Amino acid sequence: MPPLWMVLCGLSAVIALISEIANRRRNNRRDIEDVGFMPWSTITALALLTFGISIAFGLGILSTE
C-alpha cells in the first residue's frame, strides 16, 4: 500500500484538475445569467495547497519530528 502522502497528493491533484476544468466551463458559459454556487477558485487553491504540503512531507522538506 502506498504511503498516505502519496494518496493525498494524488487525490488533491485530481480535485485541483476537476475544479479548474469546472471553473473554465463556468467562465465560458453561454448564459451569463446562469450563476453557479460552487467556489471553484477556492477549491482549486486549497487543493493545490494540499498538493504542495503533501509533496513537501513526502520529499522530507517538512517533517513531523
Encode pLDDT of 6-41 as tens digits. Answer: 899 999 999 999 999 999 998 888 887 777 788 989
Query: What number is the average pLDDT over the span 36-50?
Result: 92
Higher pLDDT, 42 or 34: 42
1-14 b/e (C-beta count within 10 Å ≥ 16 → b): eeeeeeebbeebbe
pLDDT band at 51 (very low <50, low <70, confident <90, very high): very high
pTM: 0.83
Is 50's pLDDT higher than 80?
yes
**Cell match 502522502: residue?**
5
Q: Output the CA–CA distances (angstroms, integers) from residue 45 to 23, 41, 50, 63, in the order listed.
A: 12, 6, 9, 23
Q: What is the pLDDT of residue 46?
A: 96
Residue 51 C-alpha cell reads as: 498538493
